[in-house]
C-alpha cells in the first residue's frame, strides 16, 4: 500500500460527525440534529465514490441507511428552524407577542408530532445498523489503494449537478414560483457538496465556487424557512377567532413575511448569472479531472455502472443550508 486512500480522510470526518451526534439527536437536542442532518447529506455524496472502489456492497448499503436517516430527520429540522424564526421575529418586533405566542404554540404542536414519528423510525437497533454500516465502509476504504474509479464517478456527479443547477435556474426564470426556486436551492446544495469533495481530494481549488453557492443557499434557505412558517401560520383557524387581537396580528405578520419572500426572491433573480458561472466552473473541473484520470469526454463505463448500482431517491425538502 502506497498510502491512505484519498477518500479515507473525507469519509472519516463525515463518519465521525455522524456518530458523534446520533445519540443527542434522538434525545431531542436541536444543534446535534442539525449537525447529524448535515453529515448525512455529505455522506450521501461521498459514499457513491467509495462504492466505485469497493467490490463489496458495503458502501451502497451504508448509503441507503444514511439516506433513510436523513429523511427521518428532515421534518423535525424544519420545525426547529421555524421555532427559532418565531423567536427572531418577536425579538425584532415584527411579530407581536400575541401572534408570536399563538404561532409558537402551533409550531411546537407540529414539531412534537414529527418528533414522535422520528423516534418511531429511529429505534436503537436501527441506529446501531447505521453506525455499523458507515464504520464498515470506512474500514473497507482504509484497506485499499486508490484507483481512478472514484474520480470518474466524481466527474459524472460534478457534470450532473452542474447541469441540474443550470436547468433549474432556467426553469425558475424571473417569476416567483416556490417549487421552482426550491429546486434551485437543492441543486445548489448538491453541487456545493461535490465541489467540496473535489477540493478535499486535492483535485481542484473550488473555494470561490463553494462560497458563492453557500451565499445562494443562505438566501434561498431563508426564503424556504419563511415559506414553511407561513404554511404553519395559515393552518391556524383565525376565522373562528377573528375578534381576537392575535388573529389580526397574525394577518399582519403574514403580510410582512410575504414581503420578505419577495425581497429574497429579487436577490435570487439578480444572482442568477453568478450561478451560471459556478456551473461553468464545475464543468471545467469535471473536464480536467476526466482527462487526468483517463476518462472519456462522455460517461465512462465505470461511472455508468456505479450510478446504476446506487440510484438516488428524490430529494426531501429541507431547511438545512450547510
The pLDDT tens digits for 40-67 are: 999 999 999 999 999 899 999 999 999 9
Which grid coordinates belong to 248? 389580526
In percent, how much of the chain has pLDDT > 90? Answer: 85
Task: State the pLDDT confidence band at 311, using cuts at 50, 70 and 90.
Answer: very low
103/244 Cα distance (integer angstroms): 14
230/273 Cα distance (integer angstroms): 29
pLDDT in tens, 150-165: 999 999 999 999 999 9
DSSP 315: P
Count of alpha carbons within 13 Å of 256, Cβ hemisphere only?
17
pLDDT in tens, 102-151: 999 999 999 999 999 999 999 999 999 999 999 999 999 999 999 999 99
Q: Residue ranges of the alpha helices (H) in the chain? A: 8-26, 30-53, 58-91, 97-121, 124-142, 149-172, 178-200, 207-234, 245-270, 272-292, 301-309
Of residues 105, 125, 95, the one with CA closest to residue 249: 95
Instruction: Say if residue 308's pLDDT is above 80.
Output: no
Average pLDDT, the chain: 90
Task: State the pLDDT confidence band at 215, using cuts at 50, 70 and 90.
Answer: very high
Of residues 120, 150, 145, 139, the one with CA closest to residue 26: 120
Instruction: Say if residue 299's pLDDT is above 80.
Output: no
Which grid coordinates belong to 32? 446535534
pLDDT score at 237: 86
pLDDT score at 296: 57
Instruction: Say if residue 202's pLDDT is above 80.
Output: yes
59/250 Cα distance (integer angstroms): 48
Q: Is the dihedral of CA 195, 290, 204, 147 positive or negative?
A: positive
Could you tell me how far CA 298 lies from the centroid of its own chain?
28
Average pLDDT over residues 2-12: 90
Higher pLDDT, 7 or 295: 7
pLDDT in tens, 60-101: 999 999 999 999 999 999 999 999 999 999 999 999 999 999
Q: Full-prediction pTM beyond 0.85?
A: yes
In percent, how much of the chain has pLDDT > 70? Answer: 90
pLDDT score at 312: 46
Q: How far apart are the first and last CA of the chain?
A: 35
Amino acid at each position: 500500500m502506497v498510502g491512505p486512500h484519498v477518500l479515507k480522510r473525507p469519509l472519516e470526518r463525515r463518519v465521525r460527525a455522524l456518530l458523534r451526534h446520533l445519540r443527542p439527536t434522538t434525545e431531542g437536542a436541536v444543534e446535534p440534529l442539525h449537525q447529524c442532518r448535515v453529515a448525512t447529506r455529505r455522506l450521501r455524496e461521498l459514499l457513491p465514490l467509495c462504492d466505485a472502489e469497493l467490490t463489496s456492497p458495503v458502501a451502497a448499503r451504508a448509503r441507503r441507511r444514511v439516506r433513510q436517516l436523513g429523511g427521518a430527520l428532515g421534518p423535525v429540522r424544519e420545525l426547529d428552524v421555524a421555532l427559532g424564526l418565531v423567536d427572531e421575529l418577536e425579538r425584532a418586533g415584527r411579530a407581536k407577542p400575541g401572534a408570536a405566542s399563538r404561532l409558537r404554540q402551533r409550531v411546537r404542536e407540529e414539531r412534537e408530532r414529527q418528533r414522535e414519528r422520528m423516534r418511531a423510525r429511529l429505534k436503537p437497533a436501527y441506529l446501531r445498523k447505521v453506525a455499523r454500516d458507515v464504520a464498515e465502509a470506512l474500514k473497507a476504504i482504509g484497506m485499499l489503494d486508490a484507483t481512478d474509479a472514484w474520480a470518474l464517478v466524481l466527474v459524472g456527479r460534478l457534470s450532473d449537478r452542474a447541469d441540474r443547477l443550470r436547468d433549474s435556474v432556467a426553469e425558475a426564470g424571473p417569476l416567483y414560483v416556490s417549487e421552482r426556486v426550491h429546486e434551485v436551492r437543492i441543486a445548489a446544495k448538491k453541487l456545493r457538496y461535490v465541489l467540496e469533495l473535489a477540493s478535499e481530494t486535492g483535485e481542484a481549488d473550488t473555494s470561490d465556487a463553494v462560497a458563492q453557492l453557500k451565499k445562494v443557499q443562505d438566501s434561498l434557505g431563508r426564503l424556504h424557512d419563511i415559506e414553511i412558517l407561513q404554511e404553519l401560520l395559515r393552518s391556524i383557524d383565525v376565522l373562528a377567532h377573528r375578534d381576537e387581537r392575535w388573529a389580526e396580528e397574525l394577518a399582519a405578520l403574514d403580510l410582512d413575511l410575504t414581503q420578505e419572500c419577495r425581497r429574497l426572491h429579487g436577490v435570487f433573480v439578480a444572482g442568477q448569472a453568478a450561478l451560471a458561472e459556478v456551473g461553468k466552473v464545475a464543468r471545467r473541473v469535471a473536464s480536467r479531472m476526466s482527462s487526468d484520470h483517463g476518462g472519456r469526454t462522455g460517461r465512462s463505463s465505470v461511472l455508468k455502472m456505479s450510478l446504476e448500482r446506487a440510484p438516488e431517491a428524490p430529494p426531501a425538502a429541507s431547511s438545512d443550508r450547510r
